[in-house]
Amino acid sequence: MSYYYKLSVSVLSLTTILFIGNVKSQNGLSFDGVNDFIQTTFPGVTGTNDRTFEAWVNINPGAVGNNTILDYGTNAVGSRNTFNVNGNLGLTFTAGGTNANLGSTNNSIITAGTWTHVAFVLDNGTGYLYVNGVLEGTGNLSAVNTPTTGTDMIIGERVTGGSIPMDGVIDELRVWNVARTAAEINQFMNQELCSIPTGLVAYFKLDEGAAGGTNAGVTVANNSVNGAQSGALTNFALSGATSNWVSGATLSSGSTSSSITVNSCGPFSFPGDTVQYSQPGVYVDTIPNVTGCDSIITLNLLSVSPNGFATISATACESYTSPSGNFTFTADGTYMDTISSASGCDSILTINLDIQRSFATYTSVGCEDFTLPSGILVNASGQYQDTITNSFGCDSIMTINVILLGSTTTNQEITSCFQFTSPSGKVFTSTGQYVDTLTSVNGCDSIINYDLTINSFNLSIVETSGALLSSVVSGVYQWYDCENDVIIAGQTNSSFVPASSGVYSVIVQKNGCTDTADCITFNKVGIENVQKSTLARIYPNPAVDVITIDLLKNREVVSIKVYSLDGKQVKYYNTENKQTILVGELNSGLYFVQITDKNGDQQLEKLVIE
């Protein structure tokens, strides 16, 4: 549950105090002893003014020669500030010249491979050297006088005039413009500083980067006192265990302390803390800081009064004014409002607001007409205003852009073979005028008027006395072997006498249309006799009303039969001497005449009636 507080706070004291907190390991910066250094823009403490230098160092066991911690000034007598661990692991300060140099009483007071705190103090012309807070050397430095025109402070290398690179790790480098006492040095050397005490003029924690990681982009050492006087890393590899950001000295974190007095409406908790205090009393809480400096707060909670909470739902036509009168809302949403109770504590309101919009604009697409929301029918495209009242009694005024697409009508002349299927799926088999209706992609009708011509013919095969005959007159023919699935070369007449029994069909082309007859089974048995017989001559052919049968000598005809193309017998004569036949009542077209004599011989002739 979330709480809202109305606080009456009086600060009895807001005193910042440094405490020793938890021990933690921080980063330091490893120098390779060859050419690594940090060039800062901090000018250092100049002239003959008092100063103090402090740092934690860890000299590499394989280091040879001197190792500069920091330096600034010029390469002249009394003008530089070379703070250094010498090749014998003693601690030195060098300014150059008489009464300007100082070394520790003994060498080997710094152990290689071990973190050691070192400090130099210049106090009114006298110098002091401290190792791990213990005085290890003192002397006359009355000649020290640093010019203001020298090189800004370098970390890990001396100023121009020679090269004394650091071969080791440096951490927690501090520069003061006051002479720190031994007690002051010991008080804070084992911890990070959470605030900037008086006299601290440069503070390089050297906590940047990831220890031993890839730190190619971490090329600045921050000055916590003045970020504009930070330092640029030069020649560092910034990857691996050396010449990189590495683990630093193990120091304790600092902290600050403050106290507040509070009157609270509802349980009280510090920002970012889940602990809630619901009874008056004195409490102590610690707020961690990302820099490791905790804030310790003493809370004097005088009173705890409850807050009120409520959720309301509201509907308005145009706008809504909150219960406190402090807010006017014009859009749907969830809002918070606060009203004060008689006890001085707040009532927190959650408002679920529904604003009934009174204006809207939209576009609607139709075909022939459109009905507006109020029920008005419009049958032309255009912009219309319409008003309806919603269930909450609020008017909704709508601007509607109406687009009427209408129906489309097209006329088409179509010629098709045998039948025609319209786009909607209707099938037409005869010539005529037809109408088809489709629904277009926009949902409106598309009407097509067809002037349709159907070209067709009735295709069949008649088997008569050893021959196969196509029922189609005046076409283009091609006979086909169904069993072997091949075209029969040269057989392009309307009739075909197969050379052998089989299954045959004919492909006919007429009036631009092509059709294939159903396959018919043909039996060759008994045909030879028919094919060799010649009984009579039929004329005229083509005929109009009458045909004459001119019998050959010694032939006695028993029957004369006339067949239509579909195989139906349309005339029959059973006589021995009938020679004239009336055919005028027959329709124009192709017929077949079959003549049979008393010996059973047959003759088949094609007859065209005009």
Determine the pLDDT at residue 417: 87
- Please check the confidence at residue 332 and state whether its pLDDT lies above 90: no
Domain stop point among 528, 553, 579 = 528
In this structure, is residue 397 part of a structural domain? yes
pLDDT tens for 385-408 read 888 877 667 777 878 888 877 677
- What percentage of the chain reaches a pLDDT higher than 70? 86
My answer on whether 312 and 178 are in the same domain is no
- The rounded distance, in Å, linking the Cα atoms of 520 and 579 is 34
pLDDT mean over 532-560: 77
State whether 82 and 229 are in the same domain: yes
Does 477 share its domain with 501? Answer: yes
CB contact at 8 A, 248 and 28: yes
Structural domain boundaries, residue 290: 254-305
Among 211, 231, 250, where does a domain finish? 250
pLDDT of residue 272: 64
Given this model, what pLDDT does residue 364 score?
80
Tell me the torsion sign for CA atoms 108, 174, 189, 166: negative
Asked if the model's pLDDT at residue 19 lies above 50, the reply is: no
Sign of CA dihedral 278, 279, 282, 283: negative
What CATH number is associated with residue 494? Answer: 2.60.40.10
pLDDT above 60 (res 291): no
Q: What is the CATH number of the domain that holds 607?
A: 2.60.40.1220
Residue 198 lies in a domain: yes
> Residue 540: is the preceding peptide bond cis (ω within 30°)?
yes
Name the more confident of 365 and 357.
365
Confidence of residue 441 (pLDDT cuts 50, 70, 90): low
d(CA 436, CA 429): 15
Task: Tell which residue, 197, 287, 293, has the closest CA to residue 254.
Answer: 293
Question: Which run of H or of E encompasses 183?
Answer: helix 182-188
Summarize the confidence of residues 214-241 as an average pLDDT.
Answer: 97
Q: Which single residue is written with the structure tokens 């299927």? A: 421
Q: How confident is the model at residue 492 (pLDDT cuts 50, 70, 90)?
A: very high
Q: Say if residues 508 and 477 touch (Cβ distance below 8 Å).
A: yes
pLDDT at residue 380 in the model: 83
Phi, psi at 440, each rounded to 5°: -80, 175
Total domains, the chain? 7
Classify strands 245-252 and 23-32 as parallel, antiparallel or unpaired. antiparallel
Alpha helices (H) along 432-537: 527-532
Phi-psi region of 292 (alpha: psi -120 to 50; beta: other; left: phi over 0): left
Same domain, 100 and 187: yes
Domain end call among 477, 503, 528: 528
Residue 322, token pair as written in the block: 């909150």
**Is position 149 within any domain?**
yes
User: Average model confidence (pLDDT) for the chain?
Assistant: 84
Q: Are 164 and 226 members of one domain?
A: yes
Name the more confident of 98 and 567.
98
Distances (CA, A) of 148 to 79, 115, 312, 460: 10, 33, 71, 124
- When pLDDT is cut at 50, 70 and 90, the band that residue 182 belongs to is very high
| pTM, to two decimals | 0.47
Peptide bond just before 147 cis, omega within 30 deg: no
Assess whether 48 and 145 both reside in one domain. Answer: yes
Answer yes or no: is 128 within a domain: yes
Give the best-scoring range by mean pLDDT among 90-104, 326-340, 441-455.
90-104
Amino acid letter at 268? F
pLDDT at 20: 38
Same domain for 512 and 589, yes or no, is no
Between β-strands 255-265 and 8-13, what pairing exists: parallel, antiparallel or unpaired? Answer: antiparallel
- How do strand 255-265 and strand 294-305 relate by DSSP bridges? parallel
Is 167 a domain residue? Answer: yes
25 has a pLDDT exceeding 60: no
Average pLDDT for 429-458: 82
Element (H, E) at 8: strand 8-13
- Span 413-442, average pLDDT: 84
- Residue 160 domain-assigned (yes or no): yes
Do both 133 and 208 map to the same domain? yes
Is residue 168 located within the same domain as residue 111?
yes
Residue 484: which residues within 8 A CB-CB, separation 6 or more? none
Residue 528: φ, ψ to 5°: -55, -40
Specify if 3 maps to a domain. no
pLDDT tens-digit series, residues 37-79: 999 999 999 999 999 999 999 999 999 999 999 999 999 999 9
Q: Are residues 312 and 301 both part of a single domain?
A: no
Give the tens place of pLDDT for each residue, 77-102. Answer: 999 999 999 999 999 999 999 999 99
Q: Hey, what are 394's tokens?
A: 């609020």
Instruction: Kindly report which listed range (108-117, 330-339, 412-421, 559-568) carries the lowest average pLDDT score.
Output: 559-568
Q: Compute the distance between CA of residue 112 and CA of residue 109 in angstroms, rounded to an integer.
A: 10
Inside any domain, residue 19: no
Judgement on whether residues 145 and 29 belong to the same structural domain of the protein: yes
Residues 47 and 161 placed together within one structural domain of the fold: yes
- Name the residue with tokens 């022939």: 368
